[in-house]
Amino acid sequence: MSNLIGIINYGIAGNIHSIKKAIVKAGGTVKVINKKEDMTGVDKIVIPGVGSFKDAMTELENEKLIEPLKEAMKSKPVLGICLGMQILSSLGFEYGITNGLDIIKAEVKPMIVNGKVPHVGFNTIEVVKSNPILKGLEKEEFYFMHSYEVVNYTDILSLTDYLGHKFVSSIQKDNIYGVQFHPEKSRKAGIKLFENFINL
């Protein structure tokens, strides 16, 4: 079983400290990826993310990580977390229109609900497609903090209800996974998700 997990560190957008701790707790070994050379030897990749879609893509471009990341995605399991999941999409609509990594045919749009945004706090996921990353986590609660959502119709693993609005809370396309929530802030359920990722 391979468990050297590379975490993409892309400036302000890549908030990695708590993710590193959670992966180690789940039994993985962590290597921080600051430049393309750091991709060498990692078995799997985590794309963290806080902040805006535009900032995230700008940071990845500035660090010259977009092409090496896309190349690695062809063969390695990848997990995008929160904004890291959103930038897997084709387009983001935060502070203008920004091209994403275009791995998932999706758009990232403002969450429109009859109530408070951002959506913050623990909420339940509803698994709609059996998959290894969420195995044993059906109906578990995870920690969310977001104002934007991924709009996609073909790669959905789970949905979550917020104030009567169902949004996509996890996705998968081949070896690429994304979760809208923060497993590193989701206690036992989050550690279990990282264990599932390590065991892919």
Q: Which of 63, 140, 146, 182 is catalytic?
A: 182
Q: Which of 82, 94, 140, 146 is catalytic?
A: 82
Rounded Cα gap, residues 157 and 150, in angstroms: 12
Q: Which of 59, 94, 140, 184 is catalytic?
A: 184
Give yes or no: 184 in active site: yes
Rounded Cα gap, residues 4 and 28, in angstroms: 6
Which residues face 193 on adjacent strands?
Answer: none
Q: Counting Cβ atoms within 10 Å, is residue 3 exposed (0-12), middle (13-18) or buried (19+)?
A: middle
**Alpha-carbon separation of residue 27 from 4, 20, 140 (angstroms):** 10, 11, 21
Give yes or no: 182 in active site: yes
**Which residues are known catalytic residues?**
82, 182, 184
